[in-house]
Chain A
Amino acid sequence: MKNFTYFRPTTPEQAVALLENRWGNTELLAGGTDLHDLQKEYVAQPARVVSLSGVNALAGIRVEEKSVRIGAGAKLADIANHAELKRLFPSLTDAADQIGGPQIRNMGTLGGNLCQRNRCWYFRDEHTNCLLKTGQRCFALDGENKYHAIFSQGHRCVIVNPSTLAPALIALGASAVVQGPNGRRTIELGRFFRAPGANNEREHVLEANDMVVEVTIPRSNLANASYEVRHKQAYDWPLVQAAVSFERGDGGVRNPRVVLGHVAPTPHVAEAAARSITGQAVSEATAGAAGRAAAQDAKPLSQNGYKVKLVEVAVKRALIIAAGQKRYWEV
């Protein structure tokens, strides 16, 4: 790890003031579970690290009348174990509960989960100069890409966004409150992510001197769920994730949102799946059809064709969980 100067501000304003208007030389440190790995691999080599551990204002989960506000510094474990959140937004708390192991959940934060760097092994290899560094091309495109995007149309870099909270939050209509040098603004999480394509771009739309301070989720009675297909039972990244939400109505599902994780450079909103399930009662048949609709535009790479099938499954199962039906797949 390259050595650095360490700053420990106590307010978001101070923290933002310590940032720079370009990426790389200064990094924000939240839980550290991602940043330090990148530093140890020399993929991140900041000269300045701004720790958020002293910014108490970032902590806390507040359930209010119209919305739920979760501080960017809230630990994943606090989200996963929050009784009221579990009742309202099981998609979010389940997703949080499945990240890493207990140690990671005690360290990692909401803000860190949303802003973490992607897991592409080319990106994370010190010696590979890919698009997201200063290189000219994406090595995964025709290389080892079994965990890469199957919806990457139009993108030069075929990473998958690594956040598992993001699909859940997007499906719940959440927004991020962002502190910048000129004050705060709100960004819908559905517009928060982008596909990076160069070393001056990250997996989200923030500027280098912005930081997330809070995520707000409108209170609702939405049925919601997140389902991950993983290789291992524990301590593994999803191969594919689906988060869903919908209003329950007499005429079946209303205003559904289906958001996929780990299939595209950003959380992927599956509109066709939403259309497919709209107005239907959730059943294995209708949920399965929605799953197929979600997968229909997939364009897998050379090694990740299996993910197409997993999209179908994840969407189907997420809908069944959200509808409160029997989880037929559990051993």
Chain B
Amino acid sequence: MAQVFQVIGTRPIRHDGLDKVTGRAQYGADIQLSGMLHGRVLRSSHAHARIKSIDASAALKVPGVEAVATAADLPESGDRIAHLGEGAVNLRHLSSNCLARGKVHYKGQAVAALAATNPHIAEEALALIKVDYEPLPPVMDVREAMKDSAPKLHADVFTEEMGQLKKDKPSNVAKHFQFKLGDVHKGFAQAAVTVEREFHTATVHQGYIEPHNATAMFNPDGNVTIWCSTQGAFTVRAQVSELLQIPVSRIKVVPLEIGGGFGGKIRVYLEPVAAVLSKKTGKPVKILMDRAAVFEGTGPTPGSYIRVKLGADKTGKLVAGEAYLAYEAGAFPGSPIGPGAMCIFACYDIPNVLIDGFDVCVNKPATAAYRAPGATNAAFASETVVDEICRQLKIDPLEFRLKNGAKEGTRRADGPIYPRIGMIETVEAAKKHPHYVAPLAPGSSPFPRGRGVASGFWFNIGLKSSVTASVNNDGTVSLVEGSTDIGGTRVSVAMQLAEALGIRAEDVRPVVADTDSVGYTDVTGGSRVTYATGWAAYEAAQDIKWQMLEKAAQLWKTDLDNVVYDKGVIRAKDDPAKKITFKELAEKIQHKGGIVVGRATVDPPWPGGAFATHIVDVEVDPDTGKVSILRYTAVQDCGKAIHPSYVEGQIQGGAVQGIGWALNEEYAYNAKGEMTNASFLDYRMPTSLDLPMIDAVIVEVPDPKHPYGVRGVGEVPIVPPPAAIANAIYAAVGVRMNELPMSPGRVVKALAAKK
């Protein structure tokens, strides 16, 4: 039965709106502390080299330079695995990624850092740190790196082959695993149509606008405070604790406003370095990254090689699917190959599946999460092959998805059986949408136009969240949460508390707190904040309600079971005259009855997952290869839209990034393994004028487990765009683009090859 809501589904103004538009909001770079030093990081100029020695003596003689840090200042971490909220990481690798130990594995890797009295001195003195490198040949491409003859990044990385570590010889392939369902050979034997294709995708960056930053103040008493831009203050605390071998209780992480993250601000880069420099100097140290360092030194998302084979019978039913995915982990093992392999066929019910996944080290920055990590690469491949099957069978691509789409009870190749999900509903909504109903009209130019569709899946995650909620005597509630707010989650969390209490969203004052001021909360990632932290807010509201009922019962000198809470009003069951609003009671208890503070901590079950289906119309200029997007519609199941504007914003934002990935963005490397386009100008992120209007269509198939039916929304919208655009290009000009990005040069080349 559908719930009736008062707050949920409305669009209140965000609490932090004014501060952000007028530039008042405090971000990490805005921090100024008395006596603060400025740190800079020296980065490797080689893609692959042994560090023979580091001599900082000249830099240390520069007046104003107060300390230099290298890997020697970090404790040896050993091969321990730490869980960071969204993925696990080997601490020795994480440490070496903060300050390289022994070797550098990519150009831009941090090698040393120094702190000085002003940023100019720091920058100039940095050039005086002498690093003696023994250059080694780099390997930049995933398939090259898989060869036995390839240069090896690590002497101590061995292939984990189907769960067994093959310790005979080091390898760049850190992991090979399989997911199996049914029998693919039998499956393909039943197929009337089989299509097998290869795909390549370029390394791309999350591209958050705010560069990484960290300010640390290490006090003589052994306590350290860190101000930074992060998706998870507690994961920063955990990483710094592990890397510097300090108890978590000695570390306070203060998350400031965060200027975008998209998965890239979970792992630490600067925080431990600033802490070490602060410890050495006894002064606060602030380090800001510049844009080139963000591109060259922080996690992009992997380039990949993918092969997909799909078979369908003559009725259009998928009978078998095979996939081979090799993802570039970058410098250290840990690409999102796992989720990529799980997602590749996740939209479909396929009885026979075999998926091979490979995690491969190459001399690029260690990859980090980026919005549905691994899924976009995979969907580009699988959704293109699906489109080819539809064409061969002459089946409408949405009909095909209705026939084959995953639904409750479908088993995914990696094991799980879906609970209630909304894949089919997104397809139905797309099919009914005026965009799809209307035929693609020719334009004023003679150039070919085409329409493409693609679907996508992302799991979303649960994980832990804590909140406290204090009732103020004016009837408002101060909500303290640990989830940093990247895109408006203060509001979507506050709204769930308000709904549960029957008060206005504006009467909840959300605050994102530091690690000493709120209970443990996992990262803002995995599309989990509105789902899990919102759930915690709901539970805290129940705690408040319970306490308010107690207060009312005391006030009226009646039994607790004689009072009820109904949409912000407390009543006595036996006396209609006895009723008091939340606000009135809040004021009363200030004087008599005691203060009410609600609290909750949740570790909810993993959610049912999110699906999206996108429709795009393009026009291709066959002379220049330029692809123009004419119209874009993104349909997505969000369970229940708490704040529909923010749901739409996430859908549009994900689609925008997916469009950039599809058409523009890539890391260009030269033969030495140096990124040649580490600037916004050369990396070509889309601007407003490059982007069409994106119509976000919300479908609501509530997650039955969540109190309000919420599903995460932030990640899945980046998954379909590259495939949808590739399919539209095919519809327009009859060439299959199998490489990202689909830049003008590549399109021209593909068109020429067709002729």
Contacts and interface: CB of A to CB of B under 8 A. Distances in A.
A–B in direct contact per CB < 8 Å: yes
Q: Which of A3, A125, A127, A231 has the most CB of B within 10 A?
A: A231
B676 interface: yes
Interface in A195-243: 229, 231-237, 239
Interface string B120-141: 1001100000000000000000
Nearest to B290: A40
Nearest to A41: B292
Given A306-B625, A309-B748, A313-B624, A232 B445 contact: no
Q: Which of A1, A122, A146, A235 has the most CB of B within 10 A?
A: A235
Given A139-B670, A306-B748, A234 B690 contact: yes
B119 to A, nearest CB: 10
B151 interface: no
A233 B689 contact: yes
A127 B682 CA distance: 18
A316 B624 CA distance: 12
A329 B687 CA distance: 21
A290 B496 CA distance: 66
Nearest to A42: B127
A328 B124 CA distance: 54
B686 to A, nearest CB: 7
Contacts of B625: 306
B677 to A, nearest CB: 7
Given A330-B444, A331-B444, A234 B687 contact: yes
Q: Which of B120, B446, B623 has the most CB of A within 10 A?
A: B623
Q: Which of A1, A3, A309 has the most CB of B within 10 A?
A: A309
B748 A233 contact: no
Given A2-B124, A234-B689, A331-B443, A229 B670 contact: no
B687 A233 contact: yes
Contacts of A127: 45
Interface string A75-109: 00000000000000000000000000100000000
Contacts of A237: 681
Q: Which of A3, A125, A146 has the most CB of B within 10 A?
A: A125
A330 B624 CA distance: 12
Contacts of B676: 121-122, 125, 144
A54 interface: no
Contacts of A233: 687, 689-690
A249 interface: no
B619 A231 contact: no
Contact of B682 (A1, A121, A310): A121
Nearest to B449: A331
B446 A328 contact: yes
Interface string B658-698: 00000010001111001011000110101111100000000
B745 interface: yes
Assign chain B's interface to a size class.
Answer: 35 or more
Contacts of A236: 681, 684
Contact of A229 (B669, B687, B744): B744
Given A121-B682, A143-B670, A236-B684, A229 B444 contact: no
A231 B668 contact: no
B577 interface: no
Contacts of B45: 127
B749 interface: yes
A127 B445 CA distance: 46
Nearest to B680: A235
B630 interface: yes
Interface string A232-265: 1111110100000000000000000000000000
A313 B623 contact: yes
A231 B689 contact: no
B120 A331 contact: no
B624 A232 contact: no
A309 B689 contact: no
B670 A144 contact: yes
Contacts of A316: 623
Contacts of A309: 623, 748, 752
B624 A235 contact: no
Contacts of A144: 668-671, 676
Contacts of A143: 670-671
B663 to A, nearest CB: 8
A22 B525 CA distance: 55
A92 B677 CA distance: 29
A313 B681 CA distance: 24
A306 B625 CA distance: 9
A150 B444 CA distance: 33
Given A232-B687, A328-B446, A331-B619, A121 B677 contact: yes
Contacts of A330: 444-445
A310 B414 CA distance: 47
A11 B123 CA distance: 35
Nearest to B443: A331
B404 interface: no
A305 B686 CA distance: 25
A145 B120 CA distance: 34
B628 A331 contact: yes
A234 B684 CA distance: 10
Interface in B607-653: 619, 621, 623-626, 628, 630
A175 to B, nearest CB: 31
Interface string A314-327: 00100000000000
A231 B671 contact: no
Interface in A280-316: 305-306, 309-310, 312-313, 316
Contacts of B621: 329
Contacts of B5: none
10 nearest A-B pairs in the assembled complex, by CB-CB distance? A306-B745, A234-B689, A313-B623, A121-B676, A233-B689, A144-B670, A306-B748, A233-B690, A234-B687, A127-B45
16 contacts: A121-B682, A122-B676, A125-B674, A144-B668, A232-B689, A234-B689, A239-B744, A306-B625, A306-B744, A306-B749, A309-B623, A309-B748, A329-B445, A331-B443, A331-B445, A331-B628
Interface of B: 45, 120, 123-124, 443-447, 619, 621, 623-626, 628, 630, 664, 668-671, 674, 676-677, 681-682, 684, 686-690, 743-745, 748-749, 752
Interface of A: 1-3, 101, 121-122, 125, 127, 139, 143-144, 146, 229, 231-237, 239, 305-306, 309-310, 312-313, 316, 328-331
